[in-house]
Structures are given as structure tokens and as C-alpha cells.
């Protein structure tokens, strides 16, 4: 299975949703921390709550009389808006005012009441001198009462709660105190003092309004009398009887004269046109005779007919007679006489028209003077009327104001003594039987719930901040490696290593099965001969790297021929674990060529594992590991064994493991569960990757497999066949043929 397969499965799991069992296991892993912290916090809160003194709440209900009739009309002058929507909210704020609180405190003599004494002493306690100099001076001087009153009022208001009821005229006044009777008494007194203060304010305002009305009435009386006197004096001075009639006559006269002037001007315009034409043709009677105005004259028309007849007669006679014929002379004389008559009549008519023009012009000028005098007269009358109307309006306004204020004063005088309360006590407060706070059961239950949630949250935070490798997800998502195997933690004494042959211990069947599972992963990961040389590495000492190498060698020896090499030339332990005789040649001698291969190999008869101990320690182990002899030795040994396991030094301590990795076909990286820092492990793996060596898989060692751990489910079935295995382990050698056959089949 490749790393990509693991990542795909993780993504599929993420799509399915969070694993709730994982979170449950995290909680169960730290259950005693959660239980202890929750119990401690709950106990502390219980002690605090039990030590707290009981407090009682009493509630009185106040109702505002918003719909009561106002018998005193003067209230309109100072109405505070009792019908407005925000009236109740305004009065609610007044119920919480410091002035009203001080009235109640003085009424009930609460200034020295033990109810506030404890809080006052705690607030006045100043061991470090944090109070200002002015505060200390006030406390020591003559302002003690004022300072104390301010503090008591502040404490009083903290215990007072005002809550209007929606869609009603009702307000609940609640007071909290250690004494139930005091709580009820204070709530009722707040209502009483509020009503009293409102009535006092109303009475004071009414008195001030009445005084002001009386003063204004006298002032308006004087103004009215003065305005009436001014109006009368003006009428006498101007000799006005009927101002409206005089103004109407003047207006009518002006209109008539203006109309006459317009007619005269129109006539003058007509005559002026004829006069100008006649004046232009003056001396030419014949041309004047042809003017329409002249032709329209009956006399001119008659003369014109006579002229025409005389002209026809002259024309007829001239065809028969000569110019000296008497008839001809008589006819010409008659024609000349008619024409002379025409000229005379035209001159007369022209003189008449001129006379008419002069007369019309004179009449227009005279009429214009009359209109001008009429206008001046009308304007004078209008000014008098305007002044008269102004004085009359002023008099009427003063009279109306005077009558209005006189009515208000009389109403106030007649209704004095009748007062309506702005509110009333709808439901008085009674002394409560049960305390309102603290609710000890609820407080302890809430403390328990909050402490439990806090403890669980703290558990998740600690789990999130933990830097160790704890799950396959850490291996695959953070280290980007495949999890090859998981070895459970085996109980042992602190500071001691795991016994060498724990793999064969019937009581440690879980550990044995885990090693066999690791063996199966190693065999199947590289089924060909390319995985014959396995290097076992770790980041730091103490992760169980050598134990993993030894146990894996025991498991592989049941099905294969295995050679275990101790390549930790600096701190070798495999030789001591297998009780190799002192002085037995090992890897150092084999690389130097001072001993043959057969001389350096030690056979463990109990397990069948062949091993090469470290040998004699040298000053420069890396010099031997980088030598060509080391690589040739590995190749020679690989031809004689099915599997070679090399135990290497920690990669973060020294770089020997990087050199050994070049000769290995497979690398197993051992990580101690929930111990080694993930960043340190990642750096160690990166060091192998930098030299071109790929890690085949990670072995998670010392894993907690208890019931509440993350790996509990994976090891629940390891008890299957435990008795049978114990019996076989006791009756046969681990390397026997029958067990080898069984394990070979299982591995396949």
C-alpha cells in the first residue's frame, strides 16, 4: 500500500465527518485530570456559594394615570407630555434617579443601616493609599455625610431594578436586600416617594404658573387699555365716522373719473388724427375735400354733386358752343361758383375740426388734473384706513389675550386645592419568604457544567499542543510516511530496557502479535530480494530502536534465515543483550579484515538468530563505515542470509545511520509514541531524504494500548488463541519446524 492510498483514505474519512471515537478516547485518556479539575472547581464554587449570604427581592407595581381628566386647564401650559409614547420610559429613568434614591434613604434612615455597612467598609479599605488626597481630606473633614450619602446612593441604585411591563401603564419596582422586610419596605417607599415628589413638583409648577399668569394678566390689561385709547384718539383726530364708507366713495369717484379720462383720450386721439391730416394739406382745399372725414359731411357731399352736375353741363355745352357763347360763359361761371363754395365749406369744416381738437385737448388736461386729485384723496383715505385697521387689530388681539388669560386665572382660582396623583400603587410589595439569590443548587450545577466543559476543552487544547507522534494521522499527514507497524508499551521498571526475549513471553502476546504484524508488513512491502538488508534507525536514543531490531529479527527467524548486525559502534548493546563472550570479534574486526566472517558471527541457539556484534570500539567509527570493506561485507553476507537487520545509531546524534543507509535496501524509522517531538522526527527523516535514502515506513513504539487509548480497538482481538499459543510456546522451541510452518503460512 502506498502513501497516496493512505492519504486518499484519510480524505474519504474527512468527507464522512469527524471521528467521534477519537475525541472520546482523548477525553478518556485524561479522565482523571478532567475529574480532578472539575471536582476542584465545583468544590471551590460550592464553598464560595455556601459562604454567601442570602438576598431577598420584593416587587411593588406602580401604575401611571395617563388617562385621568385634567380639571385645571392651566396644566396645558406646563404639560410634560403624559400622552406621549416615551412618557413611561422617562418616568422609569426618574424612578432610578439619585434624587429619589436619596429621598428614600433619608425617609427610611438607611444611611447607617447594617445592610450597606459591610460594602462601605470594603470600599473604604485602602491599605496601599490608592485614594486621592482630596478623598482622604473629605473623609476626614466636614464632607463625611455627603461622601457617605453618595456611596450609599450608589449601592442603593445597584440593588434597585425598574422594569416597565410592555403594552401597559405598569412598572415593577424591585429591591434586593438581605432582609425580606427591608426589601418590601424599600420597594413600597420608592413608589410613595415618587408619587410625593411628582405631586410636589406639580404643585410648585402650578403655583409658579398661576403667579406668572397673574403678572401677565395685569400687563395685558394695560396694553388693552392703551390700544383702545390710541384707536379712539385716532378716530377723533381724523374725524372718522364710517371709515369703510369714506374709502368706498373715494374709490368709486376715482374709478368714474378714470373712466371719463379714458373716453376723452380716445376722442382726442380720433380728432388728433384728422387734425394732423388737415394740417398737412392746409391751403389745398381740393385735397382736403377728398379726405374721408370731409367727404362724410352732408354739405360737402351736396356741393360735390352740384360740382359734378356743373362739370357735365360745361362739357355738353362745349361740344355745341364756343367759349364765348353766353350759355358757355354762364355754365363756367356756375361751375366756378360751385367750386368756390366747396373751398369755402372745406375751410369752414377745417376750422371746426381744429376747434374740436383744441377743445378735446383742453378737456383731457382738465380731466387728468381731476384724476390726480382723486388719487391723492383716495391714498390719503387709504392711509387713514390702514392706520385705523392696525390700531383696531392691536386692540382686538390684546382683548383676546386678556380674555384668555383672565379665563385661565379664574379657572385656576376656582379649582385650587383639587390635585390628581400622576400615579398610584397598584400592587404593594410584600416580604418574600424565599431568597432570590444565591440559588445554591443552580450555582453549583452551573459551576459543575462549566468546570466540566472547561476541563474537556483544556484536554483538547493540551492534546492539540502536544508535540509527540500519537496516531497514524500524525505519521501520514505530518511526517508524510507510511505507518509500517505499531508496538505496544510493555510494563517494566522505570529506567530499564525491555527484556531481550519479550517476544517469546506468553504473557506478552500483544507485543508478540504486534511484532509479527510488523514482520508481515516488512515481508510484503518488498517481496523480492531488494528488501533483504533492513536498517533500523531513530531520531534520538531511548526510542526502542534496538528492541525493535531484535524483536523483528526474532520474528523473521521463525520463517527465514536472519542476521542481526550491531552497527552502533559508539554505544553497542546487542552483544551484551545476547551475552556474547567478551573479546568475541565483531563488525569492527570484520571491516578491518583482522577476523574472518565465520569468526565474527555469533549464533543464538534459543532463537536461531545469527548476529554480528559491534566488536572492539574504535576512535573513528565513521571511517570504518565509509570504507569499501563495509559495503563488500554486506554484499557477501546478503548472499548467505535471507534477511539482514542492521541496528544503527540515532540519526540526530551522529550521522553514522546516513552512511549505513547507503548499503541498506530498506529503512525502518522507529518513533517513540507520544514522546519524541514531531519536528525532530521530521528533521531526521529529511536527513535520510537528503542523502537519497527513502524511508520504507515508520514503526510507532511504546504505544499506549489501554482501554481508553487511541489504539485500544486495534488490540482488543489480540487475546484470541492466547492459551493455545502459551501452550505451544512452553512445549516447543520457537524456531521449531511446526511453528515456522505456521508463521510462514500466516505471513503469506
DSSP 530: G
Query: CB of 632 within 8 A of CB of 527?
Result: no
CA distance 705 to 710: 7
Distances (CA, A) of 741 to 513, 539, 555, 557, 738: 16, 36, 13, 12, 5
Q: Which three cell numbers, joined as nine digits, stand for 117? A: 455597612
Distances (CA, A) of 414 to 73, 409, 524: 11, 9, 116
Q: Which of 403, 490, 518, 479 is nearest to 677 (CA)?
A: 479
List strand residue ranges (DSSP E) for 524-607, in order.
Answer: 533-538, 562-566, 602-603
CA distance 523 to 340: 167
DSSP 736: -
Helix or strand (DSSP H, E) at 486 = strand 483-488
Q: Which three cell numbers, joined as nine digits, stand for 662? A: 547507503
Q: Which of 210, 218, 216, 215 is nearest to 416 (CA)?
A: 210
User: Residue 723's pLDDT is what?
Assistant: 45
Q: Which residues of the chain have pLDDT under 70?
A: 1-19, 66-85, 118-144, 239-248, 276-296, 414-420, 465-466, 493-495, 528-531, 706-748
Could you check whether the bond before residue 639 is cis, i.e. omega within 30 degrees of 0?
A: no
Other CB atoms within 10 A of residue 280 CB: 10
User: In terms of DSSP bridges, do strands 423-427 and 610-612 run parallel, antiparallel, or are they unpaired?
Assistant: unpaired
Instruction: Tell me whether residue 623 is exposed, middle or buried, using C-beta atoms within 10 angstroms of its C-beta: 0 to 12, 13 to 18, 19 or more.
Output: exposed
| Angle, helices 87-95/180-238, rounded to nearest 10 degrees | 130
Q: Is 258 helix (H, G, I), strand (E, B) or coil?
A: helix
CA distance 708 to 30: 9
DSSP 715: G
- For residue 608, report the phi and psi dihedrals to the nearest 5 degrees: 80, 5
Q: Which residues pair with 602 in a beta bridge?
A: 611
User: Residue 736's pLDDT is what?
Assistant: 38
Distances (CA, A) of 297 to 291, 294, 302, 345, 566: 10, 6, 9, 10, 164
List strand residue ranges (DSSP E) for 613-728, in order.
Answer: 643-647, 666-672, 697-703
Model confidence pTM above 0.75: no
Helix or strand (DSSP H, E) at 434 = none
The whole-chain average pLDDT of the chain stands at: 78
Using only C-alpha atoms, what is the Rg of the chain? Answer: 66
Q: Which residues pair with 562 in a beta bridge?
A: 643
Domains annotated for the chain, with CATH where assigned, are 20-52+439-465 (no CATH), 56-197+421-427 (3.30.1890), 472-489+507-747 (3.40.50.300)
Query: CB of 570 within 8 A of CB of 656?
Result: yes
Query: CB of 567 within 8 A of CB of 656?
Result: yes
Query: CB of 487 within 8 A of CB of 701?
Result: yes
Could you check whether the bond before residue 191 is cis, i.e. omega within 30 degrees of 0?
A: no
Query: CB of 719 within 8 A of CB of 704?
Result: no
User: Residue 670's pLDDT is what?
Assistant: 92
CA distance 454 to 35: 11
Q: Which of 622, 695, 648, 620 is nearest to 540 (CA)?
A: 648
Query: CB of 628 within 8 A of CB of 639?
Result: no
Cβ-proximal residues to 168 (8 Å cutoff; 6+ apart), any chain: none
Q: Which of 542, 492, 553 is nearest to 518 (CA)?
A: 553
User: Residue 72's pLDDT is what?
Assistant: 44
CA distance 297 to 306: 14
CA distance 439 to 525: 66
CA distance 681 to 683: 5
Q: Is 646 helix (H, G, I), strand (E, B) or coil?
A: strand
**What is the phi-psi region of residue 314: left when phi exceeds 0, alpha when psi lies from -120 to 50, beta otherwise?**
alpha
User: Residue 104's pLDDT is what?
Assistant: 92
Cβ-proximal residues to 665 (8 Å cutoff; 6+ apart), any chain: 526, 530, 531, 532, 533, 534
Other CB atoms within 10 A of residue 724 CB: 9
DSSP 55: B
Other CB atoms within 10 A of residue 402 CB: 20
Q: Which three cell numbers, joined as nine digits, stand for 71? A: 380639571
Q: What is the residue-wise DSSP string for 25-83?
A: HHHHHTHHHHHHHHHHHHHHHHHHHHHSPPBEEEEEEEEE-TT-----GGGGGT---TT
CA distance 301 to 296: 7
CA distance 260 to 369: 12
Helix or strand (DSSP H, E) at 427 = strand 423-427
User: Residue 650's pLDDT is what?
Assistant: 92
Order of strands across the sheet that contains 160-164: 160-164, 170-177, 56-64, 423-427
Sign, CA dihedral 570-575-579-583, equals negative
Q: pLDDT tens across 622-679, in order?
A: 888 888 888 888 888 888 898 999 999 998 888 888 888 888 888 999 998 888 888 8
Query: CB of 405 within 8 A of CB of 212?
Result: no
Other CB atoms within 10 A of residue 420 CB: 13
Q: Is 424 helix (H, G, I), strand (E, B) or coil?
A: strand
Q: Which of 647, 654, 644, 664 is nearest to 687 (CA)?
A: 654
Q: What's the number of CA atoms in the CB half-sphere (13 Å) around residue 527?
A: 4
User: Residue 221's pLDDT is what?
Assistant: 85
How wide is the angle at C-alpha 260 spanned by C-alphas 259 and 264, nearest 5°?
120
User: Residue 341's pLDDT is what?
Assistant: 76
Burial code (b: 16+ CB inside 10 Å, e: under 16) for 363-398 equals bbeebeeebeebeeebeebeebbebbeebbebbeeb
Other CB atoms within 10 A of residue 491 CB: 6
DSSP 111: T
CA distance 705 to 717: 12
User: Residue 531's pLDDT is what?
Assistant: 58
Amino acid at each position: 500500500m502506498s502513501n497516496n492510498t493512505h492519504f486518499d483514505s484519510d480524505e474519504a474519512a474527512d468527507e464522512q465527518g469527524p471521528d467521534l471515537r477519537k475525541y472520546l478516547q482523548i477525553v478518556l485518556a485524561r479522565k482523571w485530570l478532567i475529574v480532578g479539575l472539575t471536582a476542584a472547581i465545583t468544590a471551590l464554587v460550592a464553598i464560595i456559594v455556601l459562604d454567601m449570604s442570602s438576598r431577598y427581592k420584593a416587587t411593588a407595581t406602580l401604575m401611571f394615570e395617563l388617562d385621568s381628566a385634567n380639571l385645571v386647564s392651566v396644566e396645558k401650559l406646563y404639560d410634560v407630555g403624559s400622552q406621549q409614547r416615551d412618557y413611561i420610559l422617562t418616568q422609569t429613568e426618574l424612578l432610578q434617579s439619585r434624587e429619589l434614591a436619596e429621598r428614600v434613604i433619608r425617609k427610611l434612615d438607611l444611611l447607617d443601616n447594617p445592610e450597606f455597612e459591610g460594602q462601605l467598609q470594603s470600599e473604604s479599605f485602602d491599605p496601599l493609599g490608592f485614594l486621592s488626597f482630596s478623598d482622604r481630606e473629605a473623609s476626614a473633614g466636614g464632607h463625611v455625610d455627603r461622601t457617605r450619602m453618595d456611596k450609599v446612593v450608589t449601592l442603593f441604585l445597584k440593588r434597585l431594578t425598574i422594569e416597565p411591563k410592555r403594552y401597559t401603564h405598569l412598572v415593577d419596582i424591585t429591591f434586593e436586600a438581605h432582609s425580606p422586610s427591608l426589601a418590601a419596605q424599600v420597594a413600597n417607599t420608592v413608589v410613595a416617594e415618587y408619587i410625593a415628589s411628582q405631586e410636589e413638583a406639580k404643585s410648585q409648577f402650578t403655583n409658579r404658573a398661576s403667579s406668572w399668569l397673574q403678572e401677565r394678566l395685569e400687563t395685558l390689561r394695560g396694553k388693552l387699555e392703551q390700544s383702545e385709547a390710541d384707536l379712539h384718539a385716532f378716530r377723533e383726530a381724523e374725524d372718522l365716522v364710517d371709515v369703510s364708507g369714506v374709502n368706498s366713495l373715494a374709490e368709486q369717484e376715482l374709478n368714474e373719473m378714470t373712466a371719463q379720462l379714458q373716453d376723452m383720450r380716445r376722442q382726442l386721439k380720433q380728432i388728433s388724427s384728422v387734425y394732423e391730416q388737415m394740417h398737412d394739406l392746409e391751403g389745398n382745399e381740393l385735397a382736403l375735400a377728398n379726405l374721408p372725414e370731409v367727404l362724410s359731411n352732408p354739405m360737402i357731399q351736396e356741393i360735390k354733386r352740384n360740382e359734378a352736375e356743373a362739370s357735365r353741363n360745361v362739357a355738353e355745352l362745349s361740344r355745341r358752343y364756343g367759349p364765348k357763347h353766353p350759355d358757355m360763359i354762364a355754365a363756367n361761371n356756375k361751375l366756378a361758383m360751385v367750386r368756390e363754395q366747396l373751398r369755402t365749406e372745406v375751410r369752414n369744416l377745417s376750422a371746426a375740426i381744429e376747434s374740436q381738437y383744441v377743445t378735446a385737448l383742453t378737456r383731457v388736461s382738465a380731466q387728468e388734473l381731476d384724476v390726480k386729485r382723486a388719487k391723492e384723496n383716495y391714498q390719503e383715505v387709504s392711509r387713514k384706513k390702514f392706520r385705523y385697521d392696525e390700531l383696531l387689530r392691536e386692540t382686538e388681539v390684546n382683548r383676546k389675550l386678556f380674555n384668555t388669560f383672565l379665563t385661565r386665572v379664574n379657572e385656576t382660582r376656582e379649582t385650587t386645592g383639587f390635585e390628581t396623583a400622576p400615579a398610584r400603587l397598584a400592587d404593594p410589595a410584600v416580604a418574600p419568604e424565599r431568597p432570590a439569590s444565591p440559588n445554591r443548587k443552580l450555582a453549583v450545577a452551573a459551576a459543575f457544567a462549566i468546570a466540566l466543559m472547561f476541563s474537556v476543552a483544556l484536554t483538547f487544547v493540551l492534546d492539540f499542543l502536544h508535540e509527540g507522534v500519537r496516531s497514524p494521522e500524525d505519521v501520514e499527514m505530518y511526517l508524510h510516511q507510511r505507518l509500517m507497524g505499531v508496538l505496544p508499551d510493555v510494563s517494566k521498571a522505570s529506567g530499564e530496557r525491555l527484556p531481550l526475549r519479550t517476544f517469546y513471553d506468553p504473557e506478552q502476546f500483544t507485543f508478540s502479535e504486534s511484532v509479527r504484524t510488523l514482520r508481515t508488513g516488512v515481508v510484503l512491502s518488498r517481496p523480492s530480494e531488494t528488501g533483504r538488508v533492513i536498517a533500523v534507525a531513530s531520531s534520538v536514543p531511548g526510542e526502542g530502536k534496538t528492541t525493535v531490531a531484535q524483536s523483528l529479527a526474532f520474528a523473521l527467524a521463525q520463517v527465514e534465515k536472519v542476521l542481526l548486525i550491531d552497527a552502533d559502534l559508539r554505544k553497542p548493546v546487542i552483544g551484551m543483550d545476547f551475552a556474547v563472550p567478551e573479546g568475541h570479534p565483531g563488525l569492527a574486526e570484520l571491516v578491518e579484515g583482522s577476523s574472518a566472517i565465520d569468526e565474527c558471527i555469533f549464533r543464538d541457539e534459543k532463537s536461531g538468530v545469527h548476529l554480528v556484534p559491534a566488536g572492539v570500539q574504535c576512535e573513528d567509527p565513521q571511517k570504518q563505515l565509509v570504507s569499501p570493506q563495509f559495503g563488500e561485507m554486506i554484499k557477501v553476507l546478503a548472499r548467505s542470509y535471507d534477511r539482514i537487520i542492521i541496528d544503527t545509531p540515532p540519526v540526530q546524534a551522529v550521522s553514522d545511520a546516513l552512511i549505513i543507509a547507503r548499503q541498506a535496501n530498506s529503512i525502518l524509522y522507529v518513533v517513540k509514541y507520544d514522546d519524541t517531538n514531531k519536528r525532530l522526527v521530521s528533521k531526521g527523516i529529511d536527513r535520510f531524504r537528503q542523502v537519497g535514502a527513502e524511508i520504507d515506513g515508520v514503526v510507532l513504539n511504546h504505544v499506549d494500548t489501554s482501554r481508553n487509548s487511541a489504539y485500544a480497538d486495534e488490540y482488543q482481538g489480540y487475546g484470541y488463541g492466547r492459551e493455545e499459543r502459551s501452550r505451544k510456546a512452553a512445549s516447543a522451541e520457537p524456531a521449531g519446524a511446526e511453528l515456522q510452518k505456521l508463521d510462514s503460512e500466516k505471513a503469506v
